Each structure stands twice: as structure tokens, then as C-alpha cells.
Chains A and B, each alone.
Chain A
């Protein structure tokens, strides 16, 4: 989706290092989300934010942190406390929090060795 930019597309880190994934949107959407996708699996919700300066834990928030200082940006930090960080991370936005389609970025593939 051209309105959501995730960078970089591929990211490599050593075990024990924190890493921050970028998500920027120009859709003027209030809600933003981070999902994790593992091979052959569905998407699992890490964190979500309904509005600036507010965010909530999703189903698998342990080992992750986020911030929402600007409407356009919702960075995700994968900390060294995340036991299995290698995955495909997807950022999404929606114009309203409930009952509306999510618009996804093209993801960041993180590999931790």
C-alpha cells in the first residue's frame, strides 16, 4: 500500500540487540497496528494505537515496545527480551478503530542470529 511505508524491507540483527522497525503513513488514519506473521501462520497482533499518545497491548506484546508521538508514525522496538524475534512484521492502519478494513504496509522481514 503506497500510503504506508515500512522500512527497511529486510533487517538483520545479532541476538541480544534491540531493533526498531519503522512505520509511517500518509493516509491520515487514526488507528495503527503491528502484527507479526510466522511461516504458514496467520497474523498475530502485537500492539495497537487508536490515537496519538495512546497504545494498547495486543495478544503477543511481550518483548516488544511501541510509541505513538505523531499520528503518522508508529515505530516498533523488538527488544532482547523477545525470545523468538525472527519473523515478518506488518504495520497496518485504519480510519476508525472498529469494523473497518486494515490497510497494510509491505512488511519488514527481521532475522536475528
Chain B
């Protein structure tokens, strides 16, 4: 099947900087996209989602951008904090599909 993947496996940023985590998806029928944060030894936590009829959505300190033309999804974290250090997963699904399809994750490390 088609898969969701990530451009970079690790990302290191300084505290206070903005972070951008990228994700490429291959299923042109995908219409729902979601970002999760996973801390070590815990289950993934929902961050933000976006539907295919939108190209941008903002949350608290986070923004998700969707470019359907190039099948690209990104998560922007403003003023990155040490507590943001975690693995971030993107996932997608299509209305005719049965569940979320997860990428392999990007590890974000925030240094002081």
C-alpha cells in the first residue's frame, strides 16, 4: 500500500527557535491528516489535524500546513521549548480507508 513518510529522522533545534517537521504522503486520495507527539515510554498524543479542504490550521504554538499539489504536510512549532522534545508522527487516512496510516516519526531534540 501507499505510505506516509518523513523527510528527516532527527531534528535538533535551540530553545526558543521555531521548528519545522516535514512529512510527505503518497496517497492522493488521502483527505485527513494528523500530527502526534510521542514521549519516551508513552502513547502518542494528538497535536493537531487538518482536512484536505484546508491548507493551513493553527493551534496553540503549532501550525500545520498542507500542500496537496506536492503531497506535503508540515508541522511548525513556535518558540520551541525543552518539553517539546519527543518523536513526532504524521498520519493520514482517506474516507474509503479504514484507519490512520502512520509515518516512521521524526525525533525532535531541543537544546538549551
Determine which of A42, A43, A59, A99 lies in contact with B31 in the assembled complex, contact meaning CB atoms within 8 Å: A99
**B31, B42, B93, B99 interface centre (most CB from chain A within 10 Å):** B99
**Given A104-B45, A107-B42, A107-B43: A99 and B32 within 8 A (CB)?**
yes
A51-94 residues with Cβ-Cβ distance < 8 A to B are 56, 58-59, 90, 92
What separation, in Å, do the CA atoms of A90 and B41 have in the docked complex? 11
Across the interface, do B43 and A98 meet the contact criterion of CB distance under 8 Å? no
What separation, in Å, do the CA atoms of A102 and B32 have in the docked complex? 12
B35 to chain A: closest residue by CB: A101
For B31, list chain A residues within 8 Å (CB).
99
Across the interface, do A42 and B103 meet the contact criterion of CB distance under 8 Å? yes
Interface size in chain B (residues, C-beta < 8 A): 27
In the complex, whether A19 has a CB less than 8 A from a CB of chain B is no
Interface size class of A (residues with CB under 8 A): 20 to 34
For B36, list chain A residues within 8 Å (CB).
104
Across the interface, do A43 and B32 meet the contact criterion of CB distance under 8 Å? no
**A6, A42, A44, A102 interface centre (most CB from chain B within 10 Å):** A42
Enumerate chain A interface residues (CB-CB to B < 8 A): 1, 4, 6, 33, 35, 40-45, 48, 56, 58-59, 90, 92, 97-99, 101-107, 109
Beyond A42-B4, A59-B1, A97-B98, 18 extra complex contacts between A and B, CB < 8 Å: A1-B43, A1-B45, A6-B43, A35-B102, A43-B44, A43-B89, A45-B99, A48-B98, A56-B98, A98-B93, A98-B97, A98-B98, A99-B93, A102-B46, A104-B36, A106-B43, A107-B42, A109-B41
Enumerate chain B interface residues (CB-CB to A < 8 A): 1, 4, 9, 31-32, 34, 36, 41-46, 49, 51, 89, 91, 93, 95, 97-100, 102-105
Which 4 A-B pairs have CB atoms at the shortest separation, nearest pair first? Answer: A104-B43, A42-B102, A43-B102, A99-B32
